[in-house]
A and B are shown apart, each in its own frame.
Chain A
Amino acid sequence: MITGKRYIEIVKDYFAFLKEEYNYTLIDEIIRGNAYYDVQYTDNLKVVSISYENIENYFQVIVFILQNGKLPNYDDKTRTLHLNKLNTSVLSKIDKIEVLLNNEYFANFQVKDEFERKLLKSAKELRLCLKHW
C-alpha cells in the first residue's frame, strides 16, 4: 500500500514531461486519507488526472477535454478519454523507433515495485499519446 505523499512524489517525477514539454500546469494534488490520491495538470484546454484508489488498486489516467473551461461529463466518451482508449487510437500511428526514443527518455527512472512499473508505463504511454494529439 502506497502513501499519498509517496504517490504524489512519483507521479510528479514520472509525469514531469507534462510541465517540461507540454507546458501543463499542476493544478491539484488530492490525498484522501489512504483511500484516494489524484494529481491533476492542465493546459487550459484539457485536464490530465492521474488518480489511484489504494485499497482497490484502481489506477486511472484520464484526459478530460474541457467544455467552456469545465470538466465534461465523465461518461462522455468523446471528451473523457481514458489512457487505454487513447493508446488504442495512437498505437497505429507510431513506429518502433519512436517507442524506443520514448523509452530512452524515461531510462533514468528506477522502479521499485510493480505499482511504480505500472505508473511509469502509463507515463510513457501518455507522453506518446500527447505527441500525436
Chain B
Amino acid sequence: MKRVEVAASEIPESRILNTMPEFTGTEDQITSQMMQYNRQWILNEMRSGNTILDMGLDLNRTDPSIFYQMEQNMMKNYQILHPGSLNIIRP
C-alpha cells in the first residue's frame, strides 16, 4: 500500500483505493468484506475507462498481496469478457 501511495503522489489526479471503511466481525468476515469492497472498486475503475497503472509485484514483500492478486484476476477476466476495453500501463 505504501508503494502505491508513493507512486500515486507523483501522478496528479490519480486515484487509489483509500476509502476502505472500518468493517466489523471476525477476522475472516472483515477480510471477506474488504475483498468485496476492493472487488467493487476495481470493477468501477475498469468500467470507468480510466487508465490503470499496474505497478507489478512489490519485491520487498515475502508474500504477494491477496488484494493485488484478486485485482489481477479481475482484470484478466474483464479483458476476456470485454477485449480491448482496458487501458493498462505496466512500467
Asked whether B63 is an interface residue with its Cβ less than 8 Å from the other chain, the reply is yes
Annotate A59-70 by CB proximity to B: 1 below 8 A, 0 otherwise.
Answer: 010101000001
Which residue on chain A has the smallest CB distance to residue B38? A35
Contacts of A80 in B (CB 8 A): 6
Q: Is the CB of B7 within 8 A of A55?
A: no
The digit string for B1-17, where 1 denotes a CB below 8 A from any CB of A, is: 11101110110000000
Q: List CB contacts (< 8 Å) of A46-87 with chain B.
A: 49, 51, 53, 55-56, 58, 60, 62, 64, 70-71, 73-75, 80, 82
A112 to B26 Cα, complex, angstroms: 20
Number of A positions contacting B (CB below 8 A): 24
Q: Is the CB of A56 within 8 A of B63?
A: yes
- Chain A positions within 8 Å of B, measured between CB atoms, are 1, 4, 32-36, 38, 49, 51, 53, 55-56, 58, 60, 62, 64, 70-71, 73-75, 80, 82
A58 — which chain B residues lie within 8 A by C-beta? 61, 65
Contact A35 B20 (CB under 8 A): yes
* Pair B27/A35 contact, Cβ less than 8 Å: no
Contact present for B2 and A33 (CB under 8 Å): no
Q: Which residue in B9, B10, B34 is a CB contact (below 8 Å) of A35?
A: B34
Q: Is the CB of B3 within 8 A of A55?
A: no
Contact A51 B63 (CB under 8 A): no
Main secondary structure of the interface of A (DSSP, over half): strand
CA separation between A73 and B10, bound complex, in Å? 9
Residues of B within 8 A of A32 (CB): 1, 18-20
B77 within 8 A of A: no
Could you jot down 25 A-B contacts, CB within 8 Å?
A33-B21, A33-B22, A33-B23, A34-B20, A34-B23, A35-B20, A35-B34, A36-B1, A38-B2, A51-B2, A53-B65, A55-B27, A55-B30, A55-B31, A56-B63, A56-B65, A58-B61, A58-B65, A60-B2, A71-B6, A71-B10, A73-B7, A74-B2, A74-B3, A82-B60
